[in-house]
Structure 1
Amino acid sequence: MGSVHVALRTQGPRSNRIKHARWSTHLILAIISLSMILPFLWMISSSLKLENEVFSMPIRWIPSVIRWSNYVEVWRRAPFGIYYWNTTLLTFGTVVTQLATSSLAGYVFARLKFPERDALFFTYLGTLMVPFMVIMIPQFTVIRVLGLFDTLWAVYLIRAFSPFGTFLFRQFFSTIPFELSDSARIDGCSEFRIYRTIIMPLSRPAIATLVVFFFSFTWNDFLGPLIYLTSDTNKTIQLGLRGFVTLYNQDYALLMAAAVVAMFPIMVLYVF
């Protein structure tokens, strides 16, 4: 009994130390998270202020007068509706296409056996190491020869294939038991049916991860549209935002409202 009491007495302080360390860790993480989100909160707050309140000190987080009209003014001064439509069309088309091409390629590299499969995979994966600046001019030349310059098809085609997506799908598909595919083949399933009805339903975590990556990258892409799109009717939201900054670089309340408009789909994607 004495040893039990000693063990309980020593376990109490140790348990308290663990709890204190855990609470301290959570507090530090909360402070870091708050410091990361503060710029976004300031941006949203500034987008609802009068111009002379944006840089007022101390910072007024809740505006004295909430000006929703800043967002109306942004849409009135620039054709953000067209920018949104172009970006949405390009983003959803690119995400769907990249998911299809990456998953099919990943299935072939992970589940099928053929000569020099691994060598071909590592060669394809090696294209990740090639900087975009190296292939930028050759891509531009090909797009111009095809007559696709200043069209959304130009940006869409150069984003249709993703070595990173292929790598992620290949690694995930390799973890799925091969016995499932073998059983399906015995029952007469084709390779495409195995891919469609067995492998893909089991790969929802990989699909969700890549949707977030592909959507964020395509929506926020600035350099690709800058190279291939020139007319205002084909510009994406990032090009439109850059043009808006150039025209109204002193109207900070409107600039913050335009930034919120551009970031809104990304924020919704991460929340849900």
Structure 2
Amino acid sequence: MKYARIVYNGSVHHAIEENGTLKLNDGRVVNEKEVQWLPPIEPGTVFTLGLNYEDHAKELSFSAPKEPLVFLKGPNTFTGHRSQTYRPSDVTFMHYECELAVIIGDAAKNVKKEEAYNYVAGYTVANDYVIRDYIENYYRPNLRAKNRDACTPLGPWFVEAKDIEDPMNLTLRTYVNGEVTQEGTTADMLLGVPELIEYLSGFMTLNKGDVILTGTPRGSVDTKVGDEVVTEIEGIGRLVNTIVGEEVSAK
């Protein structure tokens, strides 16, 4: 089943997908274009993986890291489906990153990879935009590169773990203005979901609602103001976002 969080008539509702519509928790059925989409969960601590696909590391002229390259993201970075993300006028390269987002379901400490899926509540789609101009290098990214307001659309759906047979064998695609610009598979992650949970829980407790953004494959291209960017993961969802400029973001 697919779950969403939305704003309808000024109130926040939980909803499920039903035959291409949204069924609210009070029983009403609405069209998805009648609502404002929120991230499908309220994120706790969010861990972002850098260079977790070897082809993406090569694309950026980096060697794959010997140890997971992990950043943290603040709550203001997240926005929902059909939202807008701001591109500053002075930057030269701002690209999307289609990523499988893993939502933790129970407190996890010192979890072995063989037991890791027991701690996963479900999955959603993330588009973790990054401004390349703000990166000194991928081991020392400027805070502005990953923690700007509304720079990471999340959603549309939260999909329960039991409904995804193999999270390590899902196709990821990105479309810019309807054209496929990125395609890969979660099978190519350097560290998969179980290994990432084992690694992170080995030195800190992962709590219910924490999120792991697992990295992106090769194919990141520059996006411009006005572009519609769709990040899609097989079986999980199709997340739509639009790039806007200063004249919109200042309103």
Q: Rg: which structure is higher?
A: 1
TM-score of Structure 1 vs Structure 2, range by shorter chain: under 0.3
Q: TM-score of the superposition, structure 1-length normalised? A: 0.20
Q: TM-score of the superposition, structure 2-length normalised? A: 0.21
Of Structure 1 and Structure 2, the greater helix share is in 1
Of Structure 1 and Structure 2, the greater strand share is in 2
Kindly indicate whether structure 1 or structure 2 has the higher relative contact order, using CA contacts under 8 Å at least 6 residues apart.
1
